[in-house]
């Protein structure tokens, strides 16, 4: 069966195209929450990690969070009916009784390993019961005598209870004169208390004699039946109900649907399941787990009881930067250091937004507020995030709070900031084997401006060689990126850490004019020198937003 604890897990996730702060803050905050809460918390990432972040995780021996690109609920987030599978040898009569007892019109047939073999519905049982002309159904379905005895609520007087019916048709014996014409070798014959009819059936080669109405069966006849290899079953039902019931002894595997089964797995999105259900008339649909094993059924009614994924957002509160499907999730908290953006929630949430240079600085403070000791690995992650977001304290977004937090974290992590920081940035600027698309989208954010969107990517470089290589790659790719991105304009910040300046590349209708007005500079072929500009959030976006909004 599926693990219901997946419905309780709270995912902590940053923005798309995650940077070091986004990933490290998610990991660190998940650790803190797991120390102070009973709910399970898991860090996630909304995109591929950068080389800088990869360096940080490897340096401190921490695994990258699992990738989550969509927060839309899937089948595992509804109340799956854990209806056990049934054996294909079950009789149609037993299946009908089970449906009535369980108030369900569909049973799933499984093998001993819980693999789904087929489905049997109440409609299938009704159709089989109405097919009065299929008198060979017990033979063609290889019905067991156990099923026959159970269905007729009878007892075996002669024969092997483990035997199987393989020949003949179902007949109701009347007079010997008629039976001599009708009964053939291997038939199943139902009779009452007429000794002559009972003996005639045996003499005609019947393979099974069903004696109805608890009629007496003389010992002599039993000996005769045993000698002839004829099974004898006695039932308290009279001839009419026996005749109606006997075909219901057939195993459900004979009637079940086994081809083109419509199934869902635990990861099937709810919206996809709704579309399939709307196009079919089935009431219940089988659910398979990750190993392809049967785990239960769902109906349209189950979809009304959907549990939303629980999410905590870190390092963003812009809808355009959030993971897909967020509107269908339940946002519990937002921890951020950016401006308050366009994100809306369905109800009140814990929203912590502080004017510091890094989300990790806020999380560092929360460790102290809850009196939770910061482990060495977590300290290293938080330190790396602060150094990355503040450009080793050179960004205008950096505050004294960030610097004090980083210095304390460096002691816990056992790192020298002046030695570790440059190594981290150098790892991030390595462009070996990378494409222009990869470089542009490594640290890339979208910003909604009224009726349209602009996007800004940024790369930080220690060396001129990496700086020039990135410029060559991205500049040639920007026009194509605008054409396929859906953004009206795209900007890319080539930020030199040693020079504390940015070479801004842009593409899109009106992009160059917007930069010229916002920064009072002249550009050429979509390039601008912006001395002292290193922060996307604080220095680039506000002037551009003011110009573009008029």
Query: What are the residues whose beta carbons fall under 8 Å from the beta carbon of 518, sequence distance 6 or more?
Result: 543, 544, 546, 547
Instruction: Judge whether 263 lies within some domain.
Output: no
Count of CA atoms in the C-beta half-sphere (13 A) of 8: 8
Q: How far apart are CA 386 and CA 412, in angstroms?
A: 14
Please check whether residues 99 and 27 belong to one and the same domain.
no
Please check whether residues 57 and 115 belong to one and the same domain.
no
Instruction: Judge whether 265 lies within some domain.
Output: no
Q: How far is CA 193 from CA 228, 235, 519, in A?
A: 20, 12, 108
Please check whether residues 58 and 144 belong to one and the same domain.
no
Contact indicator for 316, 15 with CB cutoff of 8 Å? yes
Strands (E), 263-385: 264-265, 285-288, 294-298, 310-314, 330-336, 350-353
Domain containing residue 454: CATH number: 3.10.310.20
- Looking at the structure of the chain, the number of domains it has is 3
pLDDT (0 to 100) of residue 3: 52
Chunked into runs of 10 residues, the chain (550 residues) has average pLDDT values of 64 95 98 96 95 97 95 88 95 96 95 96 91 89 97 96 95 88 94 92 95 93 95 96 94 95 92 88 90 93 84 93 91 94 87 96 98 98 97 93 98 97 92 91 87 90 90 94 91 93 95 95 93 93 90
Please check whether residues 216 and 99 belong to one and the same domain.
yes
Please check whether residues 191 and 142 belong to one and the same domain.
yes
**233, exposed or middle or buried, with CB in 10 Å at 0-12, 13-18, 19+?**
buried
Query: What are the residues whose beta carbons fall under 8 Å from the beta carbon of 87, sequence distance 6 or more?
Result: 109, 110
Instruction: Judge whether 280 lies within some domain.
Output: no
Please check whether residues 331 and 375 belong to one and the same domain.
yes
Q: How far apart are CA 381 and CA 372, in angstroms?
A: 16
Please check whether residues 329 and 214 belong to one and the same domain.
no
pLDDT (0 to 100) of residue 5: 54
pLDDT (0 to 100) of residue 1: 44
Of 380, 398, 428, at which residue does a domain stop? Answer: 428
Please check whether residues 175 and 142 belong to one and the same domain.
yes
Domain containing residue 174: CATH number: 3.40.1390.20
How many Cβ atoms sit within 10 Å of the Cβ of residue 38?
6
Q: How far apart are CA 528 and CA 491, in angstroms?
A: 11
pLDDT (0 to 100) of residue 283: 87
Domain containing residue 27: CATH number: 3.90.1640.10
Please check whether residues 238 and 364 belong to one and the same domain.
no
Instruction: Judge whether 261 lies within some domain.
Output: no
Instruction: Judge whether 522 lies within some domain.
Output: yes
Q: Reduced to 3 states, what is the DSSP secondary structure of residue 203?
A: helix
Q: How far apart are CA 46 and CA 68, in angstroms?
A: 5
> What range defines the domain where residue 117 resides?
92-254
pLDDT (0 to 100) of residue 151: 97
Of 383, 411, 428, at which residue does a domain stop? Answer: 428
Minimal CA–CA distance to 47: which of 311, 312, 310, 321? 321
Please check whether residues 422 and 482 belong to one and the same domain.
no
Instruction: Judge whether 30 lies within some domain.
Output: yes
Instruction: Judge whether 229 lies within some domain.
Output: yes
Q: How far apart are CA 200 and CA 179, in angstroms?
A: 7
- Does pTM top 0.85 for this prediction? no
Please check whether residues 115 and 222 belong to one and the same domain.
yes
Instruction: Judge whether 22 lies within some domain.
Output: yes
Token reading at 44 = 């996630």
Residues in the chain, total? 550
Kindly provide the b/e burial profile for residues 399-433, where b requires at least 16 CB atoms within 10 angstroms of the residue's own CB.
bebbbebbebbbebbebebeebbeebbbbbbebee
Of 228, 254, 280, at which residue does a domain stop? Answer: 254
Please check whether residues 212 and 337 belong to one and the same domain.
no
């Amino acid at each position: 069966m599926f693990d219901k604890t997946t419905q309780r897990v709270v995912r902590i996730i940053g923005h798309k195209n995650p940077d070091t702060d986004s990933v490290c803050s998610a990991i660190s905050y998940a650790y803190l929450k797991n120390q102070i809460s009973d709910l399970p918390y898991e860090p996630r990432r909304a995109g591929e990690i950068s080389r800088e972040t990869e360096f940080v995780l490897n340096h401190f021996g921490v695994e990258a969070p699992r990738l989550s690109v969509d927060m839309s609920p899937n089948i595992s987030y509804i109340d799956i009916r854990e209806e056990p599978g049934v054996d294909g040898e079950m009789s149609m009569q037993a299946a009908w009784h089970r449906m009535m007892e369980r108030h369900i019109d569909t049973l799933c047939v499984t093998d001993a390993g819980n693999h789904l073999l087929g489905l049997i519905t109440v409609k299938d049982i009704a159709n089989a019961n109405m097919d009065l002309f299929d008198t060979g159904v017990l033979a063609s379905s290889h019905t067991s005598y156990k099923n026959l005895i159970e269905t007729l609520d009878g007892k075996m007087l002669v024969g092997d209870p483990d035997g199987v019916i393989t020949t003949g048709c179902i007949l109701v014996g009347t007079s010997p004169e008629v039976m001599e014409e009708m009964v053939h070798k291997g038939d199943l014959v139902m009779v009452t208390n007429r000794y002559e009819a009972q003996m005639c059936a045996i003499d005609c080669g019947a393979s099974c004699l069903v004696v109805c109405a608890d009629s007496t069966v003389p010992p002599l006849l039993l000996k005769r039946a045993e000698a002839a290899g004829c099974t004898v079953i006695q039932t308290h039902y009279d001839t009419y109900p026996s005749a109606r019931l006997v075909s219901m002894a057939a195993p459900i595997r004979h009637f079940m649907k086994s081809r083109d089964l419509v199934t869902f797995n635990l990861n099937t999105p709810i919206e996809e399941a709704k579309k399939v259900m709307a196009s079919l008339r089935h009431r219940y649909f089988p659910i398979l787990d990750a190993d392809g094993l049967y785990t239960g059924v769902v109906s349209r009614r189950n979809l009304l009881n959907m549990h939303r994924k629980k999410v905590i957002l870190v390092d963003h509160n812009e809808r355009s930067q959030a993971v897909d499907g967020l509107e269908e999730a339940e946002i519990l908290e937002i921890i951020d250091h950016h401006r308050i953006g366009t994100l809306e929630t369905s109800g009140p949430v814990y929203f912590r937004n502080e004017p510091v240079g890094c989300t990790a600085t806020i999380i560092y403070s929360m460790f102290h507020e809850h009196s939770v000791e910061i482990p060495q690995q977590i300290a290293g992650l938080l330190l790396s995030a602060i150094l990355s977001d503040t450009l080793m304290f050179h960004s205008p977004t950096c505050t004294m709070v960030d610097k004090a937090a980083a210095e304390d974290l460096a002691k816990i992590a056992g790192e020298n900031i002046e030695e570790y920081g440059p190594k981290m940035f150098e790892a991030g600027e390595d462009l070996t084997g990378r494409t222009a698309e990869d470089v542009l989208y490594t640290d890339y954010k979208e910003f909604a401006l009224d009726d349209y969107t602009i996007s800004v990517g940024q790369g930080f470089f220690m060396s001129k060689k990496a700086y020039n290589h990135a410029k060559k790659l991205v500049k040639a790719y920007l026009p194509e990126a605008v054409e396929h991105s859906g953004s009206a304009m795209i900007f890319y910040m080539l930020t030199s850490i040693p020079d504390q300046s940015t070479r801004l590349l842009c593409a899109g209708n009106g992009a160059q004019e917007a930069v010229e007005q916002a920064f009072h500079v002249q550009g050429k072929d979509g390039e601008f020198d912006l001395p002292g500009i290193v922060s996307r959030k604080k220095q680039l976006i506000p002037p551009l937003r003011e110009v573009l909004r008029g």
